[in-house]
Amino acid sequence: MEIKSKFLCSKGVALAFAMLLGGSPGVLLYANDSVEESLMVVQTGRTIKGLVTDANGEPLIGCNVVVIGSNAGVITDIDGRFTLNIPADAKQIKVSYIGYVDQIINLHDRSDFKVVLKEDNNALDEVVVVGYGTQKKATLTGAVEQIGSQVLESRAITNVGAALQGATPGLVVTRSSSRPGNEGLNFQIRGLTSVNGGSPLIIVDGVPVLNSESFQNLNSDDIENISVLKDGSASIYGAKAANGVILVTTKKGKGKTTVDYGFNMRFTTNGIMAFSPSMQEYASMWLEANKEMPEHDWWGWGEENLKKMAQGIEGIYESTVADWGTMFVGNANRLDELFARRYSYQHNLSVAGSTDKSDYRISLAYADNQANLATAYDGQKQLNLRLNYGIKLTDWFKLETLASMIKTNTETPTHGIDRTLYGNDAPFFPAKNPYGQWYANFGNVGDRNAAAATTDGGRDEREKLTTRVDFKALVDIWKGITFEGTASFQNEEYRRERYSLPVQCYNWFGEQTAKLVYETTQTLSTPQDVLNFKDSHQPGYLVQANNARYQYYSGLLKYKRTFAEVHNIDAMFGINAEKWVTKKVVTAREKFEDAGIYDLNLATGTQGNGGGKTHNGTYSYIARLNYNYAEKYMVELMGRRDGNSKFAPGYRFKSFGSVSLGWAFSEEQFVEFLKPVLSFGKLRLSYGSSGNDVGLGDYDYVSTVSLGTAGFGTIPANQVSSGFGGLISYDRTWEKVSQKNFGIDLNFFDNRLKATFDYFIKDNTGMLVNVTYPGVLGGKAPKTNSGHLNVKGWEFTIGWRDQIKDFSYYANFNIGDTKSLLKEMEGADSYGAGWNAAVNGYPLNSYFLYRTDGYFKDQAEVDRYYALYGEGKEDLTGVGAGSASRLRPGDTKRLDLNGDYKISGAGNENSDLQYLGDSNPHFVFGFTLGGSWKGIDVNAMFQGVGKQYVIRNDWMAYPFQTRTANQNPTYLGKTWTESNPNAEFPRLTTNANLARWNYQNNDFMMQNNRYIRLKTLIVGYTLPQIWTRKVKLEKVRVYFSGNDLWEATSIRDGFDPEMGAASNNSGYPFARTWSFGLNITL
């Protein structure tokens, strides 16, 4: 106690505390035996004053201003100003501030100074968030990327996950839509890890989140930084880290109390629109497709009608199909009717600050985000609340409370934005007839009107409330030994109401049509429960309620100490426990007498119910040891042992770990001569293992008995039966993924130019795969850990940052690529034509296609082809010489690659299919440019893919994939005709067999989906404080922000490059977002 008392009374500690308040890591005042002497004001000499700002003209509070060679010094005030008495012989002053380059200023005879500090490009002292702690970037041995809050600021989108597209190499973010609440985001770190899928572990403030949506719906204004763990550094999270880890740190209060308010108004416009043909284009394709056919197929149109339509003649048409009847045909671009400009907005408010005893930050955000559907509301309303509070009860004990709430309400039309939107909706039927009624396409039988379906076909409303409370205790025990305890409680309540209404349509003359616009399926959101309504002309209603609860507890004992000024040790040991419980109830009813009243008891038709409950838990031991010598030689050891209730007793625990080495070779004497150019250089090497538990059920090790019915007896009748649900395996365990990583970090020219390169190899040698057993086994066998997947890849980043007087600028580029190879998986030796998920010896998601040699030039060439590959050859079935689908000039000439005189798609080494690529994104890149000058700031971020092969599927995959579908006009003028024998594509045909032969799974149909997109453009202006201070405002900034404003793509068929392979939902365009905002700081 006596030693502690003397320590607390030390004048040195008082001086250190003063320096801490000053915000400088360096010495502000020189500590002598007399505090009074070192703090005394110099009375002789003269007085100088000045203003210290950053490059944007913002005053810097708490800067150190000291006289070189003297004890005199001051700190800038709240306005960034200082007044300093200096000795008569003073020659220079030094101005310093954390995160900025020190400036030494010659005094001469001047008495008033304006000092502009440059940001310090030396990020070696930057602290990076890693698993269960932080590390200096200079001593980091793992492949860890940290994304600052500036990547998320002023963005024209509210989904945090979507904002990470192109932000860092190795993290690939894809989406299927830009509809708020329905983006369909998918995250991958360093490519695929397993045939069973998987996604990164996402952790917010040290605790895993309930699900990916909890992360995506965070208020971006609350985020301080995001770290991405990509190599063995993720092994600290053990059995859930095989797909990498995303660490999110939220903001806490710092310094004086500030109030920040932000508002932005956004509107969306249509991006790339799927090519909806005009009436003329549609009819021209039909006419061209029938030109060379011996038997014409005009469907219900008739040749004369199509000729009139090709001329653009609008009016009343008589169909050749009696059911169609008389109808009006005109030019009506359904996509233009459905999509238009829509407006969204967002408010953000936060109050933050700190004292010597506590820190606090409270934030509130509300957003209403709409997609660009014009006929009905399609969007999401979101409310975010967050409190981060910490209080220091003693100098060695601190408590923290982090509480948050996210409430989302997502509303969409029940149907009408599915495959009927583009693939089924013809381009020449107006949405309404002259009487203002919904007009039925195809006359009296039409049941396809997306405008009617989205407006009156029902609503799908989803409400989700996610709450979270974390309690943390931080104890400073003794001489570098600390303890951190955490308890987190998360809860999610989800409710869904979905009603589907058939919509009555009318013909052009106001008469009701026989068919209605309706939806046929109510999905109960559980894999085993789907109601297929037989009487699909009746209203349907679905109600679903889910509850998910997650509890997390951890205790970490840490030790951090430096010995002899060069031996740095950082150690950690801990335990954590987790528990998940989910409950689900879902029910659906069909046929309500009153379509406006929905009550489960009022339905008289089909009924269905589903639901269930799951619970599981884990228990883990964690350890890490970091050592570095003089920040030059580094080593890190990590270990984790996980136990999981999903496995049988005795098989529940498994160990994971990693080792990594680092060498800061730039600190060696033999590279001293490179110092003018090479500011810093470090080599990194790591090896680690982590686990993947995707595809495992909670009770897979327990034998189950399934109840059912079976017909038997002297007089056959259904009887109650029971049987085992399948075989079980006790020794099945996690997939174990090992990863090797080699990396190099290089900084040049006073750290203005920085580059990083990493090469990695991942091996999943215990992948869970199905195993084939003889049929006499009598049950379904469980998956076993017998698969092997290998993934190799690389990542590269380079960036430049500099400042020239008042102008600061930066440029950053990142790119990465991965390639998978399936080495062992039972039952994956054969393949089919087109896309294949898994084939031994090839990447996942491979394409095997027919090679072609152009098109048949004349009938003689067709006859020679039949002579070689002849009648009765199995793969010519459907296009035989004696059939109506006989090949003709202009049709595709598929090649016989193996020389067996067959065109074979058998799917093995004896077939004529050839591997031509995979559908995984390659060479994924991001490029950022920005700068600031006198309050003006500009930032542009581009994102894209260098290579990704795609072949369309479903209705719009190729012309006349089905005659009932819409047609893609991008093929017009590009198909074979007698006058255009060197066309890009084969001839058009309405014959389904010939269309399939000509287009489906042929090499020329594979497209390279490479693109570059202007993901973000931000232009802002911060008003001078000389103006804002007059109205008592600390900072005012106005800005414009845009998202997805421009793109260039190599896609030939007109679809958006982010849409993917499916063509059935291609009509809903990705939106371009234009935002105008205001930020105010009080």
pLDDT band at 33 (very low <50, low <70, confident <90, very high): very low
Identify the helix (H) or strand (E) that includes residue 204.
Answer: strand 201-204
**Nearest-angstrom CA–CA distance, 195 and 202:** 21
Contact 1003, 849 (CB under 8 A): yes
Surface-to-core class of residue 750, CB atoms within 10 Å of its CB (0-12 exposed, 13-18 middle, 19+ buried): middle
The reply to whether 63 falls in a domain is yes
- pLDDT for 1080 equals 95
Of 219, 199, 215, 217, the C-alpha closest to 207 is: 215
Contact 373, 413 (CB under 8 A): yes
Contact 128, 144 (CB under 8 A): yes
Q: Which residue has the tokens 């030689």?
A: 633
Lowest mean pLDDT among 167-181, 264-278, 584-598, 1034-1048: 584-598
* Mean pLDDT along residues 807-828: 95
- pLDDT for 1064 equals 61
**Nearest-angstrom CA–CA distance, 250 and 244:** 20
Helix axes 303-310 and 279-291, enclosed angle (nearest 10): 130
Contact 686, 231 (CB under 8 A): yes
Residue 737 predicted with pLDDT over 50: yes
For every residue of 264-297, DSSP letters joined together read EEEEEEE-SPP-PPPHHHHHHHHHHHHHT-SS--
Surface-to-core class of residue 703, CB atoms within 10 Å of its CB (0-12 exposed, 13-18 middle, 19+ buried): exposed
Count of domains observed in the chain: 1
- pLDDT for 1063 equals 65
The reply to whether 441 falls in a domain is no
* Mean pLDDT along residues 827-844: 93
* Mean pLDDT along residues 876-897: 87
Distances (CA, A) of 115 to 27, 60, 82, 266: 20, 10, 11, 38
User: How many CB atoms lie under 10 A from the CB of residue 503?
Assistant: 21
**Nearest-angstrom CA–CA distance, 193 and 199:** 9
**Nearest-angstrom CA–CA distance, 444 and 441:** 8
pLDDT band at 29 (very low <50, low <70, confident <90, very high): very low
Q: 858: which 2 tokens?
A: 């004349």
pLDDT tens digits along 427-481? 788 889 999 999 987 777 777 788 898 999 889 999 999 999 999 999 999 999 9
Of 59, 143, 190, the C-alpha closest to 817 is: 190
- Nearest-Å Rg of the Cα atoms of the chain is 34
**Nearest-angstrom CA–CA distance, 1039 and 620:** 47
Identify the helix (H) or strand (E) that includes residue 992.
Answer: helix 992-999
Q: 154: which 2 tokens?
A: 């002023």
Write the Ramachandran bin of 102: left for phi over 0, alpha for psi from -120 to 50, otherwise beta.
beta
The reply to whether 35 falls in a domain is yes
Contact 461, 471 (CB under 8 A): no
581 CB-near residues (< 8 Å, 6+ apart): 548, 549, 550, 613, 614, 615
Beta bridge partners of 762: 739, 791
* Mean pLDDT along residues 738-751: 96
The reply to whether 1003 falls in a domain is no
Residue 21 predicted with pLDDT over 50: no
pLDDT tens digits along 961-985? 887 778 888 898 999 999 999 999 9
pLDDT tens digits along 482-518? 999 999 999 999 999 988 888 888 989 999 887 888 7
The reply to whether 59 falls in a domain is yes
Of 259, 231, 255, 251, the C-alpha closest to 243 is: 231
| pTM assigned to the model | 0.86
Contact 351, 320 (CB under 8 A): no
Beta bridge partners of 267: 343, 1074
Share of the chain above pLDDT 90, in %: 53
Which amino acid, 810? Y
Of 726, 745, 1016, the C-alpha closest to 138 is: 745
Question: Residue 29's domain spans which residues?
Answer: 2-116
For every residue of 913-930, DSSP letters joined together read EEEEEESS-EEEEEEEEE
Check residues 98 and 936 and name the one with the higher pLDDT: 936
The reply to whether 645 falls in a domain is no
Q: Name the pairing type of β-strands 705-712 and 633-644.
A: unpaired
pLDDT tens digits along 1021-1072? 999 988 988 898 989 999 999 999 999 999 988 888 998 777 665 668 889 9
- Which phi and psi angles does 721 have, rounded to 5°? -130, 165
Query: Average pLDDT over the chain, rounded to whole?
Result: 86
- pLDDT for 1065 equals 57
Beta strands in 591-644 (DSSP E): 607-629, 633-644
- pLDDT for 502 equals 85
The reply to whether 851 falls in a domain is no
SS3 sequence, 239-269? HHCCCCEEEEEECCCCCCCEEEEEEEEEEEE
- Which phi and psi angles does 235 have, rounded to 5°? -65, -20
Contact 450, 443 (CB under 8 A): no
**Nearest-angstrom CA–CA distance, 249 and 226:** 6
Residue 910 predicted with pLDDT over 80: no
What is the biggest distance separating any 2 CA atoms in the chain, rounded to whole angstroms?
120
Residue 17 predicted with pLDDT over 70: no
- pLDDT for 994 equals 93
Residue 27 predicted with pLDDT over 60: no
- pLDDT for 109 equals 83
The reply to whether 634 falls in a domain is no
Residue 101 sits in a domain of what CATH number?
2.60.40.1120
User: How many CB atoms lie under 10 A from the CB of residue 336?
Assistant: 12
